[in-house]
A = this chain, B = another copy of it.
Amino acid sequence: MTTMLPIVPSPGRKRPTIRDVAREAGVSYATVSRVLNGREWVSPEAVRSVREAISRTGYTANPHARSLATGRSGSIAVLLTEPQHLLFEDPNFSVLLRGFAQALSDRELTLILMIASTPEERSRTIAYLSGGHVDGVLLVSPHFGDPLLSQLVKAEVPIVACGRVLGFEQLISSVMADDRNGGRAAVEHLIEAGCTRIATIAGPQDMVGGVERLQGYHDALIAHGRTIEPALIVNGDWSRASGAAAMRTLLDQAPDLDAVFAASDAMADGALRVLREAGRDVPGDVRVVGADDSGLAATTEPPLTTIRNPLDRIGEEMVRLLTELIAGRTPLSITVPMALVVRGSSPA
């Protein structure tokens, strides 16, 4: 096998630098830098010969040298502060991460993934971010009152969060789903379908999504002159298992219910299972609406009617906001609507 020979075997092979390009193009390296950065005042011929020299040499700019000279790192940190296992198991996180990756790549920004769960990681992370080694940070699941938040704010790092950050509204940009109106839309859909005993499996009440979606449930019932019955409200923790448990409780407390709005698809799936075991037909006897429109929703039996969590859009807007923040604009808070997606568990 002779094919194993590398083209340029020298271990100390040097990547071409701006000087190599300049030599090739017959100009000064300052000029090369100018065409690289699209600055004005470069003659067309210079531009052309530099471009040729670049492709001939296979030159790529050294981002570290550039950062050192400009003071801009060209990179953005995606920071996870949750105990990591929780987040990584959340399919929603993957969707968000994908959105970030796309939007950052479009802007030629590097995505640096940082996790701050253990105390050591936290202090290492805060030091790194405060050190200004990153142009900005995308905060994924800020815990209210997390000291990390104020440290970051004090360090004046541009930062945008996913979901409102209580107490920092003026300092931290944020993008979030309109959970409240989403929840309301879900319940109004059930009301319009003629349901009269609508239960809800709410999310954790120490998380904004949990609170807001439940609030939307209230809003819809009140708006239609219904009363809020405690027996129709049970909390879960977003998980399928918790949804199943909550459904059992509901069936117990209010056997005559004819609809359930679960604050997550996973909980709705758990509810579906319990309803099936209890011999209740969905949607015949009981209608079910979930939330998020995660990958799960379309594959349950029957498929879930749900309110779509626009995470792709949220990720995109977070990146846009962050670049604006970096450019010096003031913080902003954006709310993205949730849309009802109708499927078999509660048809139109």
Contact = CB atoms under 8 A, between A and B. Distances in A.
Interface of A: 4, 6-7, 9, 13, 15, 58, 60-65, 67-68, 73, 75, 78, 84-85, 88-89, 91, 93-95, 97-98, 101-102, 105, 108, 110-115, 121, 124, 127-128, 130-133, 154, 156, 170, 239-241, 273, 295, 299, 301
A258 to B, nearest CB: 24
Contact of A130 (B60, B121, B170, B239): B60
A254 to B, nearest CB: 23
Given A60-B127, A64-B64, A121 B133 contact: no
Contacts of A105: 114-115, 121, 124
Given A89-B295, A94-B94, A299-B240, A102 B131 contact: no
B295 A273 contact: no
Nearest to A102: B115
Nearest to A4: B170
A88 B188 CA distance: 32
B62 A131 contact: yes
Contacts of A113: 78, 97, 101, 111-113
Q: Which of A4, A6, A101, A132 has the most CB of B within 10 A?
A: A101
18 contacts: A4-B170, A6-B154, A9-B156, A60-B127, A64-B65, A64-B67, A65-B68, A85-B98, A88-B94, A88-B95, A88-B97, A97-B113, A98-B115, A101-B113, A111-B114, A112-B113, A113-B113, A273-B301
